[in-house]
A and B are shown apart, each in its own frame.
Chain A
């Protein structure tokens, strides 16, 4: 099956054009609705989100193009054992319920704009504060990059190849940056409402197609059992270690995404936040499970794809299902719109978060302490445009290599997860000293880098010794150092007060 044989035609492009125009209108409305020219209003929309906006912005931000494309590809390659993805995305919300009750109270009391605000407040260490910013920006920049790559693939398919990969990226990036620059978090979240609604509708269509077309899952299972029976078996010991490794890496890593935390800060009330998170706890059973089933179904239709091709299994399955049917044609157009919406809603949120951290945690603290709010907002916007230019160039370079989307995710999460002890442990354990957290961060990141570096320089060839990710080895050492450090050298009352007041 060659995706290029299929023609979606101009109608799909018209739908996409209308969608992009709507995003720009929402961006403009977001600008008109701003209350004041402050960082809080631009980056947190003045903490005014009610249930509908908060839930849909959390949903659209959490589930990216990577969920629909990368996760399906991984399910295709790994087989039934990738059902772990549904569990780890649920565990993310469980981890939120462990630390968010305290973090949200602090954010509302002291006016945090970014997660590193908490890090400095709790630990009083500039080194730890900068370390957290570096890891968060690193992780998020990779996150934006992977979504740019997904944007390019989606636009090539929607335009039947008439729009090239790079033009697809540039068109979507310009629209995204325009509405983001106009209205900040308010525009981003309102576009998320539209994007999240499209995504939910698209997922409903995917479920309908999976269950009804060509005999559904039962027929797919019979083919898989014949062609690739090893993809259906329960995991062995090595597979179980991979399972737990994924559960820990994703469960802890995704739960410290700064753009998700900033949405917690933006809630209008605690009740709104609690109900939204309760709803989010069930979303993996719709979104992630469907991505898994797409990969599963692809095994029955395209059993011999390369790793690079497997990142497009969602697109291949949808095109294969829709052959010749005018009804399913519109379903596929809706689903492609949902994929683009998922990609844009995640990329814009991550970019806004990076911009807020650069402005609030670096520029205002270390470069220009007396900058006015207007000046800071300009700096944040210009930084966002410059960063995206670099990332678009990197997306272009990525096209010259056969880099799998999944590899980019791992690079992102394995470093980002190292900030987890600051939030999960630090917010509950008063005696945890900054020195132990900093040592844990350095050692955890160092172990991860060493294992990755060894593979890059061909010293060894395994990024997951004993089937456990490098980032999880680093995280284990990180937590161990924090706990031992806290027990042996507990923060004294003087240190609890911090050196600066």
Chain B
């Protein structure tokens, strides 16, 4: 079952057919299927974490903020872009309703 389910009008009433559960759970494409998706997200978080800067020092300054803060902002922007890419290009169903 790969087609996008349309919203059902029923309300869940505690039935438990687990074959149906797992059959319905898996979409045609999801970001986690790409082996690089989670490592890339973790790498960007690591780059954005100021562990490589000497502690207790401000370091160079640009436009009113320490450069290490700009590095965090830049890495976060890349994480946003990766997440948006994951949502739009890596997640979907074959016959998705527009």
Contact = CB atoms under 8 A, between A and B. Distances in A.
Interface of A: 38-40, 46-47, 80-81, 83-84, 86-87, 90-91, 93-94, 97-98, 101-102, 105-106, 108-113, 117, 120-122, 124, 216-221, 225, 229, 232-237, 239-240, 243-244, 247, 268-271, 274-275, 277-279, 281-282, 284-285, 289, 296, 360, 365, 427-428, 430, 496-498, 500-501
Nearest to A40: B11
Tier of interface size on chain B? 35 or more
Interface string B57-98: 111010111101100110111011111101110111100111
A105 to B, nearest CB: 6
Contact of A40 (B9, B31, B69, B79): B9
Interface string B13-38: 01111111110111100111000001
Contacts, number: 205
B91 A274 contact: yes
Contact of A270 (B21, B54, B92): B92
Contact of A274 (B6, B19, B92): B92
Nearest to A44: B7
Contacts of A38: 11
B87 A234 contact: no
Main SS at interface, chain A: helix
B64 A90 contact: no
Q: Which of B17, B48, B80, B84 has the most CB of A within 10 A?
A: B80
Contacts of A240: 49-51
Given A83-B73, A86-B73, A106-B24, 17 more contacts: A80-B68, A81-B50, A86-B76, A94-B41, A98-B31, A101-B31, A108-B4, A111-B9, A111-B12, A234-B55, A234-B66, A269-B97, A270-B96, A274-B87, A274-B88, A278-B87, A284-B80
Contacts of B84: 277-279, 281-282
Nearest to A238: B55
B88 A270 contact: no
Contacts of A101: 27, 30-32, 91
Contacts of B12: 110-113, 117, 121
A109 B96 contact: no
A497 B4 CA distance: 24
B39 interface: no
Contacts of A225: 58
A36 to B, nearest CB: 9
B17 to A, nearest CB: 7
A365 B14 contact: yes
19 contacts: A40-B9, A83-B72, A87-B72, A87-B75, A90-B83, A91-B41, A93-B83, A94-B41, A94-B86, A97-B87, A233-B57, A234-B56, A247-B49, A269-B96, A281-B81, A282-B77, A285-B80, A365-B14, A497-B18
Contacts of A232: 58, 66
Contacts of A247: 45, 49
Given A102-B30, A105-B24, A289 B72 contact: no
Contacts of B77: 282, 285
A232 B67 CA distance: 10
A44 to B, nearest CB: 8
Q: Which 9 A-B pairs have the closest CB atoms?
A: A217-B64, A47-B7, A236-B55, A278-B84, A234-B53, A101-B30, A281-B83, A218-B64, A109-B24
A243 B49 contact: yes
A121 B4 CA distance: 20
Nearest to B16: A498
A109 B25 CA distance: 9
A231 to B, nearest CB: 9
A279 B24 CA distance: 27
A102 B45 contact: no
Contacts of B87: 93, 97, 274-275, 277-278, 281
